[in-house]
Amino acid sequence: MGVMAASASYIAAPAAMRVSLPEANPSLYLSASLGIIFTFNIAFGIPIYLWLAKHIMGI
């Protein structure tokens, strides 16, 4: 559930950047949100979230 909720930022962040900073380079903030953060969440985030959920639940 946490990963699903966090994935909304991949859609919201570029739109917020376009509105707040229209002169910003879209290739930078799109590559940062999708290329870096998404890759990190797939490689490290999901295992960390799973470990954290198990730790909190005491499994």
What are the 10-residue block averages of pLDDT along the chain, 59 residues in total? 63 77 80 78 86 89
Domain that holds residue 47: 2-57
The amino acid at 24:
A
Dump the DSSP string for 5-38: HHTTHHHHHHHHHHHH-TTS-HHHHHIIIIIIII
Report the domain count for the chain.
Answer: 1
* Cα separation, 2 vs 10, whole angstroms: 14
* Cα separation, 10 vs 45, whole angstroms: 14
pLDDT at 54: 93
* Cα separation, 35 vs 48, whole angstroms: 19
Q: Which helix (H) or strand (E) holds 51?
A: helix 46-57
pTM as predicted: 0.52
